[in-house]
Amino acid sequence: MFKIRAAVVAIAAALAAGSAGATTLRLVCGSSGIDQNSCESAAKAWAQKTGNQVEFVSMPNNSSEALALYEQLLSSGSDKLDVLQIDTVWPGILAGQLVDLKPYLKDRIADYFPSAIANDTVGGKLVAVPWYIDTGMLYYRKDLLEKYHMKVPASWEELTATARKIQDAERAAGDEKMWGYVWQGRAYEGLTCDALEWVSSYNGGSIIDAQGHVTIDNPGAAKALETASKWVGTITPKAVLNYGEEEARGVFQSGDAVFMRNWPYVWSIANKDGSPVKGKIGVAPLPKGGADGQQAAALGGWHLAVSRYSPNPKLAADLVLYLSSAEVEKQRAVDASFNPTIPSLYKDKDVLKANPFMADMLPTFSTAVARPSTVAGTKYNQVSNQFWNAAHDVLSGSAGASAALARLAASLQRLAPNGEWH
Ligand code: GLC
């Protein structure tokens, strides 16, 4: 009897000692597609290895809402977040609230895309570690293009005609839910990406150029928005005005759209067992704006950061280092199509087998269109907000493109600190 009691006391003491050393970190995981599962399982592996614990905070899949949540928590100095995922356009906005990760990452800095490291360096501080990179892509239904003997469209004009033809023919054959083209039209950061791609594809620039000139009021940009506004209600459901990435994926993955604009993560989830479009999808660069236009893909991606208010910054940095290791980035690329931020992984045969398109994506990262987040710094979200609202007004028919862009340009000029963005 005594022996059993002694053993129970000894086990209880051992457990207490074990848990006394364990720390719980709070990690924000994304929620689009299978991001959450993949992020949580990687973090659990770290917890297991180090004897610590991780609690998960789920992030809204609308990045504008995620930013609002972070700003609210961080501005109050909350210790409720240790490790955060931040969007590629936020380092300038959140730098003051984040820990410098350079002393932790040390020599590993050289493993990542230099442009991504430059993006995350604010005032000499490395405020985040690049976790995955993405660019806008055109998804299409291979089976439907083959059925109608149509090519992957090279221009928006071709896309409009092909989408219309297949949509009409499929509807006439009884598939009344079929649409030509789905994308992100809600008034949020995702629309900034889509609209910037249209504008840039018609040689209309990138809102504010790197020298700080507000360039958005130009004929190419107006043509781009006019073209997109004509899709709404014809080849695109009107509900697109409230679509984010996941809503567009829902329609395409159910088999109800010929084309979709989205990010690489959709590849993996739309090709999983049980997906109605498994094996029927192709991906291509987004089309050019007319014969004189260019292909343009917005540059996106997410980065891992440590909150300045974390009670355990050293341990939080260790979790960041683990999650952004080549091993975990490879796993996430294979399982969930998240493009690695470590260039050497683009030669990895498992990564390329799971995502044949990734080899072609590598050179596009240097030509992709960056949003004006560096030049706008702390004011980027206001710039983006004004741009997506102007685009949304044109798409919904409440404003004409030229007038909306002239108003936007004047307003962005007023927003510039001391009247200048440079
Ligand atoms: C994707 C991109 C991100 C962008 C967002 C917009 O998550 O990675 O950079 O801001 O989409 O919805």
Identify the residue whose C-alpha is closest to ligand 1 atom 6: 190
- Mean pLDDT, the chain, integer: 94
Strands 179-182 and 257-262: parallel
**Tens-digit pLDDT profile for residues 235-275:** 999 999 999 999 999 999 999 999 999 999 999 999 999 99
User: Is it the case that residue 70 has pLDDT exceeding 60?
Assistant: yes
Which residues does ligand 1 sit against, CB inside 6 Å? 63, 87-89, 134, 189-190, 193, 245, 263, 300-302
Closest CA to 79 of 36, 40, 24: 24
- Categorize the per-residue pLDDT at 3 as very low, low, confident or very high, splitting at 50, 70 and 90: very low
Burial 275-306 (b: 16+ CB within 10 A, else e): bebeebbebbbbbbbbeebebbbbbbbbbbbb
Q: How far is the CA of 16 from the centre of ligand 1 (A)?
A: 43
**Tens-digit pLDDT profile for residues 186-197:** 999 999 999 999
User: Is it the case that residue 334 has pLDDT exceeding 60?
Assistant: yes
Ligand 1: which of 32, 36, 39, 63 to mutate, most ligand atoms within 8 Å of CB? 63
C-beta atoms surrounding 158 within 10 Å:
15
- Categorize the per-residue pLDDT at 352 as very low, low, confident or very high, splitting at 50, 70 and 90: very high
- Categorize the per-residue pLDDT at 355 as very low, low, confident or very high, splitting at 50, 70 and 90: very high
Q: Domains, the chain, ranges and CATH?
A: 5-127+300-366 (3.40.190.10), 137-298+373-419 (3.40.190.10)
All residues at 6 or more sequence positions from 416 whose CB lies less than 8 Å from its CB, including other chains: 212, 214
**Tens-digit pLDDT profile for residues 89-134:** 999 999 999 999 999 999 999 999 999 999 999 999 999 999 999 9
Runs of H (alpha helix) within 218-337:
219-231, 245-253, 265-270, 313-323, 326-336
Q: How far is the CA of 186 from the centre of ligand 1 (A)?
A: 13
User: Is it the case that residue 58 has pLDDT exceeding 90?
Assistant: no
- Categorize the per-residue pLDDT at 61 as very low, low, confident or very high, splitting at 50, 70 and 90: confident
Q: How far is the CA of 368 from the centre of ligand 1 (A)?
A: 14
Q: What percent of the chain has pLDDT over 90?
A: 90
CA atoms within 13 A of residue 64's CA, in its CB half-sphere = 19
User: Is it the case that residue 10 has pLDDT exceeding 60?
Assistant: no
Contact 141, 278 (CB under 8 A): no
Residue showing tokens 């405020």: 127
User: Is it the case that residue 14 has pLDDT exceeding 60?
Assistant: no
- Amino acid type, 273: D
pLDDT (mean) for 31-60: 93
Ligand 1: which of 189, 260, 383 to mutate, most ligand atoms within 8 Å of CB? 189
Identify the residue whose C-alpha is closest to ligand 1 atom 3: 300
- Categorize the per-residue pLDDT at 19 as very low, low, confident or very high, splitting at 50, 70 and 90: low
